[in-house]
Amino acid sequence: MAKLNQILAIEKGVKTRVYSEVTELHKSTQKAGLMNGFHKTYQRKDEEGENYPPEHQKVRYVYSDVLKRVSRSLTELFDITATKDWANCTARADVIVDGKPLLEQVPATYLLFLEKQLSDLHAFISKMTELDPGEDWDSDPSTGLFKTPPLQTHRTKKVQRPIVLYDATEHHPAQTQLITEDVVVGYWNTVKFSGGIPAPRKAELLERIEKLTKAVKYAREQANSCEAEKKHLGKEVLDYLLGQ
């Protein structure tokens, strides 16, 4: 009697090999040239006629032999799959987190599903936009968002004004020049809002996911270490389908 994890380890290889063989036979037996043949000899009409060597084409595939090969391969596949599926009916384990069972007697197939979902959720949370650490954020109950204190900045406008380079004299007028200055004309009061996740909260969630993932993996290994009683159902099925 093997362990379920041993059956799972070899199942993929069996599937690959069986599907490859059956596919090759499927393609070959569709070709009439591989399943038909002939043998012909030449008989000259008289002694003076030309003589020709015999010609032949060998039959490569015989349906009865092909069906035996298919039956043998599929029997192996049916048996290992049945052994796995029957064992999965009893393969269960508790998911223990912080020393306490979070989930009890969970089937191995569900543990595998849960492990995949946790991996996807980890990727989802880890890539979520965080609050900008360069800002001071407060929770705003009225909007459910985070917001910053108002920040005032001024708005400027370019204004030209003349300056006197040389004062006027009795003989010469004053010399002036236009210069451009930035003059404050108003103020912006900015409040930033965000729905991003605080970095500590993200770290907390990821830690929980990672902890549960480890627990699920451990439980799955426990569940898959159960005994797998070998099943031999393939012969009955294939004898009925392809037997004489």
- At 64 the three-state DSSP class reads helix
Same domain, 87 and 3: yes
What pLDDT does residue 138 have? Answer: 95
The verdict on residue 106 lying in a domain is no
Structural domain includes residue 23: yes
Same structural domain for residues 163 and 242? no
Give CA separation, 144 vs 139, 140, 151, 196, 234, in Å: 7, 6, 21, 11, 61
Q: Are residues 81 and 162 in the same domain?
A: no
Strands (E), 85-169: 92-97, 100-107, 138-140, 145-147, 151-166
Element (H, E) at 75: helix 63-88
28 part of a folded domain: yes
Residue 28, by phi and psi: left (phi above 0), alpha (psi -120 to 50) or beta?
A: alpha
pLDDT of residue 82: 95
Give yes or no: residues 158 and 244 share one domain: no
| Overall number of domains in the chain | 2
Residues 86 and 160 in one domain: no
For residues 176 and 242, give the distance between their C-alpha atoms in angstroms, rounded to a whole number. Answer: 111
Helical segments of 190-233, H only? 199-223
Q: In this structure, are 81 and 35 located in the same domain?
A: yes
Q: Give residue 241's pLDDT band: very low, low, confident or very high (50, 70, 90).
A: very high
Residue 134: predicted pLDDT: 93
Whether 77 is covered by a domain: the verdict is yes
pLDDT on residue 101: 95
Q: What is the pLDDT of residues 176-208, one digit of tens each?
A: 888 888 888 899 999 999 999 999 999 999 999
Residue 166 pLDDT greater than 80, yes or no: no
Contact (Cβ atoms closer than 8 angstroms) between residue 226 and residue 89: no
Give a yes or no: residue 56 inside a domain. Answer: yes
Residues of the chain above pLDDT 90, percent: 81
Give the model's pLDDT for residue 178: 86
What is residue 150's predicted lDDT score, i.e. its pLDDT?
93
Amino acid 205: pLDDT: 97
Q: How far apart are CA 167 and CA 225, in angstroms?
A: 102
- Split at pLDDT 50, 70, 90, the class of 174 is confident
**Are 10 and 77 in a shared domain?**
yes
Mean pLDDT confidence for 166-176: 79
Establish if 96 belongs to a structural domain. Answer: no
3-state SS, residue 177: strand
Residue 175's pLDDT is what? Answer: 83
> How far, in Å, CA of 48 to CA of 187, rounded?
120
**186, 232: one domain:** no
Angle among Cα 109, 113, 114 to the nearest 5 degrees reads: 115
Structure confidence at residue 14 (pLDDT): 96
Residue 197 lies in a domain: no
Q: What is the dihedral of CA 85, 91, 94, 96, to 10 degrees?
A: -80
Range of the domain at 159: 150-190
Per-residue pLDDT at 95: 97
14-23, 51-60, 177-186, range with the lowest pLDDT: 177-186
pTM: 0.71
Question: What is the 8-class DSSP label of residue 167?
Answer: -
| Of 2-16, 97-111, 150-164, the least confident | 150-164
Q: Please state, rounded to an integer, the average pLDDT across all residues of the chain.
A: 93
User: Within this chain, do residues 2 and 86 fall inside the same structural domain, yes or no?
Assistant: yes
Claim to verify: residue 173 and residue 231 sit in the same structural domain: no
For the segment 58-67, the average pLDDT, to the nearest whole number, is 94
Whether 110 is covered by a domain: the verdict is: no
- Residue 61, pLDDT above cutoff 90: yes
Q: How far apart are CA 238 and CA 117, in angstroms?
A: 38
